[in-house]
Structure 1
Amino acid sequence: MDPYLPPVARHVREREPLIDVQNLTKVYDLGRGRTVQALDGVDLHVPQGQVFGILGRSGAGKSTLLRCVNLLERPTSGSVRVDGQDMTALRGAALRRARRGIGMIHQHFALLSSRTVAGNVAFPLEVMGTPRAQRARRVAELLDVVGLGDRGGSYPAQLSGGQKQRVGIARALAAGPKVLLSDEATSALDPETTGSILDLLRRLNRELGLTVLLITHEMGVIKRVCDSAAVMHDGRFLESGPLPELLAAPDSRLADALFPLPTVDLPGVVTLSYAERATEPVLSALTREFDVDVNILAGTVETVAGAPYGRLKVQLTGERTAEALEYLRARGLAVRTAGDPLAADGAEPTGEGA
């Protein structure tokens, strides 16, 4: 068996983090007694086989966190474990070997202009000392996987932005990693190309069992491919968890940003967050069982990572309104009344391009 072929779909062991970051801090010394704290006690737990998205504005600390995962940046304190190995304890050759299990794709492709497409994909294999015949087989296989089987002899200048990013993905997969890090991989692409790259990442996640950690400032990326997400601001996570739980939470900043609804200054207004029951006629049941009037003021239902989610802002009037709200909660809907605060202080999670 060729040791450089990608693993077949691995069994996803729920609750066992493949990436386990504990209390991570990163402080940059600017000289003359000045410092900048880029990470402030970050905890990150990414289960095997998931696509995990970190959302935040520029300067939130997203890229620093990503580079600490593969130790391109050494954290000031805290620990980083990938596939059970303490990355922060490694140096030199041991660290280089460990990084082979972590592929990385970059915002601006980072391709070698003097090499062909095939040469770019082969480069990490050459560094590893992979024999020429194995390199050729592996490169051909990967170019087919990313849809560039006929472009191996082309140079980066002859490719579109989306094609360049596909080369970058193929190169990141060359060593058969278990983890793929994506550093704003679609922010330089047009919307249609962005969609195709995200679909490719999702397919690789499912077919190869890859665990994907991506950072973005674009809400569409989170909605399209992520299983879990975190909202980052000033080097800290405002919230983090499985996407269904975050979207169903009545006080989630991520849900507010993904499904923005207008502010309505009327009595009896509540915000309902739908998850598994997004397609059930729960509101019509209220009028029948509790004799309340339901006035729908605003709402949206969308497909997020293949499942329907949504939010409604409604006005309820009637003597049994309190009972109706308890009924909704019992049915699994999250309910936020007009006076309920958000879960955490801090800036909104949206950023440029969101």
Structure 2
Amino acid sequence: MIQASGLRKLYGNTVALDGVDLHVREGEIYGVLGQSGAGKSTLLRCVNLLERPTAGTVTVAGQDLTALPGKELNRARQRIGMIHQHFALLSSRTVAGNVAFPLEVMGVPRAERERRVAELLDLVGLAGRGKDHPARLSGGQKQRVGIARALAGNPAVLLSDEATSALDPATTESILALLKRLNAELGLTILLITHEMHVVKRVCDSVAIMADGRVEESGTIADLIRTPGSRLTREIFPLPEPAPAGSVTLTFTGDPQQPVVSEVVRTFNVDVSILGGSIEDLAGGSVGRLRVSLTGDTAPALDHLRSRGLLVEEAS
């Protein structure tokens, strides 16, 4: 649904994006994770060409946006919704007026606008609040208005610019649950940027980790978890580095109740000391990471763990 190839963006002598490639599949929630200054917001604004890249191409829903003239680009943008960190609502307009604004720009007749606005407010949990002004809403309610407005044109793609970073934890959870539901019910492809690992763990199917204008690693959460040396895995499951000599780090997905360690102890006559670890519930299921020290005939035991689908990383 979204394909960015070789994106570069310069601001004078400052390199904001340095050869970024991005592949977002239709219907997935894709997170771009990184700290301030990593290039996340610039990348997002290049996807809908609010910022035109210095080099590279952006294709959305089969259209090369970087090749479209002005009017065609504007029509293509109508299929790309965007929600903002600080809501970007018009204070002089009511909730209904904010949601209706893009429909007015698109020339949608009034009766159809009113029907669509009512439908959208019900969808985001704000039925009956159409006559209120933004000043009367909480932060979470304002963001729900922003989401409803972004959905007004029936977009195929929803871009989220740090949509939860200005919200408290409970409200963040409710907004993430809403995005997850919209993804499932509407088949929306969602590209979100965030500096919060919790957001990636809670809703994302895939992720790209950015630093200094480059993508350091990218892929599905499941694939990255199984990749030796993955930065994503290290950040989700922080363990002291470097790993002690002779220790083994085990990463496993699926049912965390499987007794793989005790099975190895019984079958291969090895002793296991647990040095640290944890289990996390990610959007795709449970994942665990465990660091252990093994003594005895360890080679067959480690081969067995690999055969059970665990990622086994031995410290030298």
1:23-42, aligned counterparts within 5 Å? 23-29=6-12, 35-42=13-20
How far apart are residue 331 of structure 1 and its match? 1.3
1:56-95, aligned counterparts within 5 Å? 56-95=34-73
Q: Match for residue 2 of structure 2?
A: 19
TM-score (norm 1): 0.87
- Alpha-carbon RMSD across the aligned residues, in angstroms, is 1.2
3-state SS of the aligned residue for 1:332? coil
How far apart are residue 259 of structure 1 and its match? 1.2
Q: Match for residue 139 of structure 1?
A: 117
Any gaps of 5 or more consecutive residues in structure 1? 1-17, 30-34, 340-354
The amino acid across from 2:311 in the alignment is A
Say whether the 8 Å CA contact 1:250–1:272 is kept in structure 2: no
- Alpha-carbon distance between aligned partners in 2 of 1:267 and 1:62, rounded to the nearest angstrom: 37
Q: Match for residue 54 of structure 1?
A: 32
The amino acid across from 1:19 in the alignment is I
Q: Match for residue 220 of structure 1?
A: 198
Q: Match for residue 182 of structure 2?
A: 204
Q: Match for residue 309 of structure 2?
A: 332
Q: Match for residue 347 of structure 1?
A: none
Q: Match for residue 223 of structure 2?
A: 245
The amino acid across from 1:314 in the alignment is V
- Alpha-carbon distance between aligned partners in 2 of 1:259 and 1:199, rounded to the nearest angstrom: 23
After alignment, is 257-266 or 118-127 more displaced? 257-266
How far apart are residue 165 of structure 1 and its match? 0.3
- Alpha-carbon distance between aligned partners in 1 of 2:303 and 2:243, rounded to the nearest angstrom: 23
Say whether the 8 Å CA contact 1:273–1:310 is kept in structure 2: yes
Q: Match for residue 187 of structure 1?
A: 165
1:262 maps onto 2:240 in alignment: yes
Cα distance change on mapping 1:281 and 1:264 into 2, 3 Å? farther
Q: Match for residue 292 of structure 1?
A: 270
Q: Match for residue 147 of structure 2?
A: 169
Question: Which digits, 9 at most, give the CA deviation of each residue in 1:215-266, with x for residues without a partner?
Answer: 0000100000000011101111111000011122231101110111234764
The amino acid across from 1:85 in the alignment is Q
Say whether the 8 Å CA contact 2:205–2:284 is kept in structure 1: no
Q: Match for residue 345 of structure 1?
A: none
Q: Percent identity?
A: 66
- Alpha-carbon distance between aligned partners in 2 of 1:20 and 1:267, rounded to the nearest angstrom: 42
1:322 maps onto 2:305 in alignment: no
Q: Match for residue 103 of structure 1?
A: 81
1:234 maps onto 2:234 in alignment: no
3-state SS of the aligned residue for 2:155? coil
- Alpha-carbon distance between aligned partners in 1 of 2:17 and 2:45, rounded to the nearest angstrom: 12
How far apart are residue 146 of structure 1 and its match? 0.4
How far apart are residue 271 of structure 1 and its match? 1.0
How far apart are residue 303 of structure 1 and its match? 0.9
- Alpha-carbon distance between aligned partners in 2 of 1:264 and 1:254, rounded to the nearest angstrom: 16
1:115-154, aligned counterparts within 5 Å? 115-154=93-132
How far apart are residue 277 of structure 1 and its match? 4.9
TM-score (norm 2): 0.98
Q: Match for residue 301 of structure 1?
A: 279
Say whether the 8 Å CA contact 2:84–2:146 is kept in structure 1: yes
Question: Which digits, 9 at most, give the CA deviation of each residue in 1:290-322, with x for residues without a partner?
Answer: 11111111111121005111101111111x212
